[in-house]
């Protein structure tokens, strides 16, 4: 790695991966030069595009927040962007190895092996769905959501487009409002994103963006079971169904319901990724300091 790049703080791919899918995930900024960005079919999951020449303007016009910057190989382009952000008071880091997990013949074999062993998840760009990282995407579906229509926005916000906007309208208005708002319809028959066979709309989002993540696959099974009435698919599906129906009882405003549900899906994803093997039971004999 070049000397210029070593003067800025870096985060490893495996450490970044552990931060994704959470409400407190850092902003992920794609600063590849225009030619490299335009010809690449992929983004890192949840990334926002900012051309390197626009980084200083971004830093000056938005409130500072934690940010991870990446370019192609993690060399000078991302290092310069991090330097500009940090000069403006942003806690910024560069992704070691960039989106390509390092450059053969430049980075050490040890670094290349480490970065490529567990790269952060990436997604396919989908201009037809409004997702290229350059502008916020828009999505629309039927009002009074229960499972898929909450799970899909969570998935999109955390792994596809953190700036995405969501609209809930009466079923008969989805098509006309999608055209008026320039939004992508989902979870309704004949929509670009919807049920296909036994798969639900959550599955369709994963497939549409070629998003591969073992914990998301596990979560998809739970969502599919709850959303399609196949509660035998996963023991957790019944709990998700109960939670979703209860949330619908509590909230008359669909957008407020979505915001209330997001932390639950954060926790469910964390369980799928980190805690699914952990058990819990009442064992008084293991407790200390308990009065007889």
What would the pLDDT profile of 177-207 be if each residue is shown by its tens digit? 999 999 999 999 999 999 999 999 999 999 9
User: Is there a contact between 104 and 1 (Cβ–Cβ < 8 Å)?
Assistant: no
Q: Is the pLDDT of residue 2 over 50?
A: no
Q: For the domain 3-120, what is the CATH code?
A: 3.40.250.10
For the chain, the average pLDDT equals 94
Write down the pLDDT at residue 289: 66
User: Is there a contact between 151 and 202 (Cβ–Cβ < 8 Å)?
Assistant: yes
- The residues that bridge with 29 in the sheet, in sequence order, are 48, 69
d(CA 125, CA 108): 30
Largest CA distance in the chain: 72
Write down the pLDDT at residue 6: 55
Query: Nearest 5°: phi and psi at 147?
Result: -120, -75
Q: Tell me the pairing of strands 42-44 and 122-124.
A: antiparallel
User: Is there a contact between 247 and 261 (Cβ–Cβ < 8 Å)?
Assistant: yes
**How many beta carbons lie within 10 A of that of residue 286, not counting itself?**
8
Select the more confidently predicted residue: 194 or 280. Answer: 194
Place of tokens 């709990």: 239
CA distances from 210 to 107, 143, 207 (A): 28, 27, 5
Q: Residue 129: which residues within 8 A CB-CB, separation 6 or more? A: 137, 184, 192, 193, 208
Q: Is the pLDDT of residue 279 over 90?
A: no
What sign does the CA torsion over 153, 231, 251, 185 have?
positive
Average pLDDT over residues 225-238: 97
d(CA 270, CA 249): 26
Single pTM value for the model: 0.93
Q: What does the domain layout of the chain look like in residue ranges?
A: 3-120, 129-275
């Amino acid at each position: 790695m070049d000397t210029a790049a070593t003067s800025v703080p870096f985060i490893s791919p495996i450490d970044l991966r552990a931060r994704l899918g959470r409400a407190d995930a850092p902003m992920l900024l794609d600063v590849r030069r225009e030619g490299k960005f335009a010809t690449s079919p992929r983004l890192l999951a949840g990334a926002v595009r900012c051309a390197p020449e626009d980084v200083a303007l971004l830093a000056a016009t938005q409130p500072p927040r934690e940010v991870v910057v990446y370019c192609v190989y993690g060399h000078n382009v991302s290092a310069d962007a991090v330097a500009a952000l940090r000069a403006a008071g942003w806690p910024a880091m560069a992704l070691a190895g960039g989106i390509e997990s390092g450059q053969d013949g430049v980075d050490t074999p040890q670094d290349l092996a480490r970065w490529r062993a567990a790269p952060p998840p990436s997604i396919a760009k989908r201009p037809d769905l409004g997702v290229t990282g350059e502008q916020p995407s828009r999505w629309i579906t039927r009002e009074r959501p229960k499972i898929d229509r909450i799970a899909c926005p969570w998935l999109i916000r955390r792994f596809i487009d953190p700036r995405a906007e969501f609209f809930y309208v009466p079923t008969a208005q989805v098509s006309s409002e999608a055209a008026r708002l320039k939004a992508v319809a989902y979870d309704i028959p004949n929509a670009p994103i919807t049920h296909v066979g036994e798969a639900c709309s959550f599955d369709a989002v994963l497939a549409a963006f070629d998003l591969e993540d073992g914990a998301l696959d596990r979560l998809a099974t739970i969502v599919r079971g709850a959303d399609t009435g196949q509660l035998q698919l996963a023991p957790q599906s019944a709990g998700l169904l109960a939670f979703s129906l209860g949330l619908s009882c509590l909230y008359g405003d669909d957008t407020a319901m979505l915001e209330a549900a997001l932390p639950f899906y954060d926790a469910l994803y964390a369980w799928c990724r980190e805690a699914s093997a952990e058990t819990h039971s009442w064992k008084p004999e293991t407790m200390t300091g308990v009065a007889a």
